[in-house]
Amino acid sequence: MSEQLKHECGVVLLRLLKPLDYYIEKYSTAFYGLNKLYLLMQKQHNRGQDGAGFAAIKFDAAPGIGYIDRQRSNSATPIKDCFTPVYDSLQKLADENPEKLMDAQWLKNNVKFASELFLGHLRYGTYGKNDISTVHPFIITNNWVSRNIVVAGNFNMTNSDELFKDLVALGQHPIETSDTITILETIANHLNKANDDMYRKFKAEGMYKYDISRRIQKEMNVLDILKGASAKWDGGYVFCGMLGHGDAFVLRDPAGIRPAFYYHDDEVVVITSERPAIQTAFNVPAEEINELPAGHAAIIKANGDFSIKKCHEPLPELKQCSFERIYFSRGTDKDIYQERKRLGALLLPEVLKSIDNDLRNTVFAYIPNTALVAFNGMFDALRDHCNEVKKRKLLEKKEELTPELIDKILSIMPRFDQVAVKDMKLRTFITQDNQRDDLVAHVYDITYGVVNKNVDNLVVLDDSIVRGTTLKQSIIRMLDRLHPQKIVIASSAPQIRYPDCYGIDMSRLGEFVAFQAAIALLKERNMEYVINDVYKKAKAQENYPKEEIVNYVQEIYQPFHAAEISKKIAELVRPDDIHAEIEVVYNSIENLHQACPNHKGDWYFTGNYPTPGGFKVLNKSFINYIENVKERPW
C-alpha cells in the first residue's frame, strides 16, 4: 500500500505442556518457550511497529517469589528491545554459573521468564497515544493467585462508552476510558465475582483457606467468566489472557472479524494471529494448524487440559476481514498467497480496457512491495492472455505465415520492469509540510530508460487506494518523470468507501478519496440536496441505540457507477504540473468475493458492517465530516 495504514495488532499465546526439565533434556535449554515466543513474534513483526511486549507465568512458585514477569517497549525496535535485556541477563548467568542453566527449579525461583506459559503482543497503535502505558500486555495484580490476570489482544470495541458506564454503575471508578482498560476491568470484575462465589461456597463446606485457594484454582470456570465479561462486547477481537494460577484463554468475536490460529501437540499449545508463524516456528504443515472458530474460546487449564468451547453463537454468515487477505496478513500463507494472485488476475480485463489492449506500448509495474503477489497473479494472467492472442493470430494468418511474421506474432508478450524502488534509508524527519512533501516525493527511486517517452503506457498495481494523498503528492509525480503518455494506477482492492472501527486507522470518512469523489460529483451535478438529506437522517438517529441505526451514507454513492467515481478519483489525485494522462482502476466487489470466498467482511467497500456498532460509527463519522469535527467518531 503506497500510503501506509496503521496495522492490526498481533498476538501469541504459548503454553508448554511438559515440565521445564523435559525441555532441558530434549532441547538443552530451559528457555525453549522464550525462544519460540521470540520467533513467533518476529514472524508477525509486520503487525507491530509502535510497540511490543510479552509476559510469562511460572507454575508452582513458592510464596515470596514473583511468578508473573513482563517486558514491554515502545521504541523504534520494540521486539529487539524487549528481548535483548532478557537474553543479556541469561548470557551473564551462563558466563558466571553455567551449571545453573540446567537446574529447572533454581531457574524458576531466581530467573525471569523461566516459565511454562507466555503471552506476546505486537502493537500497531491505530488510535490515541503511543507511550509505554498503552503497550500490551496489561496486568491486574492481587495477592490471591487466582485473581491476577494478564491480557493482550488484537481488537477494537465500538461501544466502549457503554462498557465504561456499566463499570461505573457497579460502583467502580475507572481512571481511563480506553476500550483496553475497560475490557480488562470488566474481565477482572467477573474473575473476582467467580472467586468470591467459590470462596463462599467452599467456606460453607468447612474448608481451610489454603485448601479453598487451591480448590478455586482447580475449579475456575474460565468459559463462564468470558461469557459474562463479553456479553455486551461489540467489535472485532481476538482477546488473550492468562490467570495467575496458570489458566489461559483466547476468545474470538462471533463474526470472526479478527483472525486466530492454533496448533496443539503433546509438547505445546500455541495460538497466533497468523498461520505461517506457527508453521515456521514449529515446522508443521498448514493442515495441522486450525482456525479458532468465531465466537469460541480456546481454554488451557493450568493442568494442561486444552479445549475449544463455544462462548457466543457465531453469526449465521461470518464476516472475516477481507483486508487481512488483501494486505494485512503476510502473503506467505498458502491460501492468502493464492487469493492475492486471483485478485491481480481478475483485475486484468479492466486494465486491458484502460490501455486499449496495447501491450506492445505498455510497461507493467507495482508499488509497493506488498503488491508483488497480486502483481504476479496479474502477470500470469497477462501471459495467458498473450498466448491466446498469439494462437489466434497464428491461426488467422496460417496461409501467409513467414518467419518474419511468426517472429512478430511471437514477440507479443507483457513488458515488466522494476520501475520504483523504495529508498529504505530515507527518513522523513522534516516537520514543515511543504518541505516534508518534497522529501516524501523522493522516498522511491525510479528506473530511468525503461519507458519510451511519450509513447508507452505505464500500469502500476497497488494493494489499495485509500486516501490518495501519497499518489498525488509523491507517486504520480515520480512516475511522470519517466514521461509515459498514460499512467494507470490499478488497485487490487475495491474502492474504500466506508470507515473501519475494528482496529484499522480508517475512521474519518472525509479522508477517503472515493468519498471525496462522490461528494465532488454530487456538487458538480447540482445534487447537494443528497448530502443535506443524508446529514438530516444521520443527525436524527445520532442518539439511537446502535441496533437501530441505518446506513444512510450509502445514498451518497447511489447516483453513480463505480467507473464514474474512479474517473473522478483520477482527477482528484492528478497533480496540476504533470503531463501524462491519469486513469485509476479498481477491482470490483464481485471479484473480491470470487478471490476471497471465505472472507466476506467487506464493510470497507460496501458499508455492510458485521456488528451494530459499525453502523453507529459510520453515522457519527459522517456527522463529524459535515460538522468539521476531527476527533475519532467513537
Mean pLDDT, residues 335-357:
97
Residue 580, pLDDT above cutoff 80: yes
Residue 503, pLDDT above cutoff 80: no
Mean pLDDT, residues 12-33:
95
One-letter amino acid of 409: I
Mean pLDDT, residues 45-71:
89
Cell 486450525 found at? 290
Q: Indicate the pLDDT class of residue 123, thresholds 50, 70 and 90.
A: confident
| Residue 630: per-residue pLDDT | 84
**Distances in whole angstroms, Cα of residue 305 to Cα of each of 17, 19, 242, 373:** 9, 14, 14, 40
DSSP assignment string, 368-414: SGGGHHHHHHHHHHHHHHHHHHHHHHHHHTTTS--HHHHHHHHT---
Mean pLDDT, residues 492-520:
92
Tens of pLDDT, residues 424-458: 555 444 444 444 455 555 667 788 899 999 999 99
DSSP assignment string, 218-287: HH--HHHHHHHHTTT--EEEEEEEEETTS-EEEEE-TT--S--EEEE-SSEEEEES-HHHHHHHHT--GG
Residue 521, pLDDT above cutoff 80: yes
**Distances in whole angstroms, Cα of residue 302 to Cα of each of 122, 208, 211, 218, 483:** 25, 22, 17, 8, 65
| Residue 128: per-residue pLDDT | 53
For residues 374-399, b (16+ Cβ closer than 10 Å) or e, as one string?
bbbbbbebbeebbeeebeebeeeeee
| Residue 164: per-residue pLDDT | 85
| Residue 431: per-residue pLDDT | 41
CB-count exposure of residue 503 (10 Å: 0-12, 13-18, 19+): buried
Residue 126, pLDDT above cutoff 60: no
Residue 275, pLDDT above cutoff 70: yes
One-letter amino acid of 449: G
Tens of pLDDT, residues 203-262: 998 888 778 888 999 999 999 999 999 999 999 999 999 999 999 999 999 999 999 999
What percent of the chain is modeled with pLDDT above 90? 70
288-289-290 Cα angle (round to 5): 120
Q: Indicate the pLDDT class of residue 423, thresholds 50, 70 and 90.
A: low
Mean residue pLDDT across the chain:
91
Distance between CA atoms of residues 293 and 88, nearest Å:
39
| Residue 370: per-residue pLDDT | 85
| Residue 336: per-residue pLDDT | 95
